[in-house]
C-alpha cells in the first residue's frame, strides 16, 4: 500500500517552525489553511452543493419561462382588446348606421303597430261603407219597390188585373208597367201565373 500523505495544519506549521529554527510567514499559514480546507470537503457535501446549485438554476429558468409566458399572454390580451376597441370604433363611425336604444325600439314598434291598426280600420270602414251603399242603392233602385205579387186567377186578363191594382190610375200605363216589371212578351197571361203589380 502506498504511504498516505499527511497534510500539516496551520497550528502545526506555527509550532514546528521555532523547533526547526525557521520563521513562518503568513503566506505559508494561509496556504496550509487553503490546502486543509480543500482536502476536508467531503464528497457528500460537494454533491449537496452541486444539487442546490442545479435546483437554483432550474428554479431561475422556470421563473424566467413563467415571466415570459405571462408577458406574452398580457401582450396578446392587450392586442385583442385594442383590436376589439378599434373595430367598435370603426362600426360606430361608419356612415349611415343607426343604433336604436331599447326605448327607441319600443317607440318604433308602437308606431308600426299603430299604423297597421289605422290601415285595417280604414279598410274595414271602407268595405262596410261600400256594402251598405250597395245594399242601399239596390233597395232604392229595385224594380219591385212599391209593388206586390199576385196570382192570376182563371178568367182574369192583364187589363182586369191592372184595373184592380190601380183603379184610379191610367190603365194603359199600369198595363205597360206590369209588362215591363214581369218581362212579359205580350199582354197574355195564364191562370196561376205570378205577377208583380203596383200596390194600391
The Cα–Cα gap between 53 and 45 comes to 12
Q: ∠102-108-113 over CA atoms, to 5°?
A: 125
CB atoms within 10 A of CB 195: 21
Beta strands per DSSP E along 22-131: none
Rounded to 5°, the CA angle 38-42-46 comes to 90
Contact 162, 178 (CB under 8 A): yes
User: What's the pLDDT score for residue 132?
Assistant: 63
The predicted pLDDT at position 1 comes to 42
User: What are the chain's domains?
Assistant: 144-198 (3.10.350.10)
- 198 Rama class: left (phi>0) / alpha (psi -120 to 50) / beta: beta
Q: Which residues of the chain are modeled with pLDDT < 70?
A: 1-41, 91-98, 131-142, 200
Question: According to the model, what pLDDT value does residue 43 have?
Answer: 73
Q: What is the pLDDT of residue 56?
A: 82
Q: Which residues of 97-117 are buried (b: 16+ CB within 10 A; e: fewer)?
A: eeeeeeeeeeeeeeeeeeeee
Q: Taking phi first (over 0 means left), then psi (-120 to 50 degrees means alpha), and beta for anything else, what does residue 106 get?
A: alpha
The grid cell for 95 is: 356612415
**Contact yes or no for 154/191 (Cβ under 8 A):** yes
**Dihedral through CA 26, CA 32, CA 33, CA 37, nearest 10?**
160
pLDDT of res. 133: 57
Cell 457535501 belongs to which residue?
45
- Summarised one tens digit per residue, pLDDT across range 105-127 is 999 999 999 999 999 999 888 88
pLDDT of residue 6: 47
Rounded Cα gap, residues 59 and 73, in angstroms: 21
Amino acid at each position: 500500500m502506498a504511504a498516505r500523505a499527511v497534510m500539516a495544519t496551520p497550528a502545526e506549521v506555527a509550532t514546528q517552525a521555532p523547533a526547526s529554527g525557521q520563521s513562518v510567514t503568513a503566506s505559508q499559514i494561509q496556504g496550509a489553511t487553503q490546502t486543509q480546507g480543500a482536502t476536508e470537503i467531503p464528497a457528500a457535501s460537494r454533491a449537496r452543493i452541486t444539487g442546490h446549485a442545479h435546483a437554483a438554476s432550474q428554479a431561475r429558468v422556470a421563473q424566467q419561462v413563467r415571466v415570459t409566458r405571462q408577458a406574452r399572454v398580457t401582450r396578446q390580451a392587450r392586442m385583442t382588446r385594442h383590436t376589439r376597441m378599434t373595430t367598435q370604433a370603426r362600426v360606430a363611425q361608419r356612415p349611415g348606421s343607426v343604433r336604436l336604444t331599447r326605448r327607441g325600439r319600443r317607440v318604433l314598434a308602437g308606431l308600426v303597430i299603430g299604423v297597421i291598426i289605422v290601415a285595417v280600420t280604414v279598410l274595414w270602414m271602407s268595405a262596410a261603407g261600400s256594402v251598405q251603399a250597395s245594399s242601399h242603392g239596390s233597395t232604392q233602385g229595385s224594380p219591385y219597390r212599391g209593388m206586390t205579387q199576385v196570382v192570376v186567377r182563371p178568367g182574369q186578363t192583364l187589363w182586369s188585373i191592372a184595373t184592380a191594382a190601380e183603379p184610379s190610375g191610367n190603365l194603359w200605363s199600369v198595363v205597360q208597367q206590369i209588362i215591363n216589371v214581369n218581362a212579359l212578351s205580350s199582354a197574355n197571361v195564364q191562370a196561376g201565373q205570378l205577377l208583380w203589380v203596383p200596390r194600391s
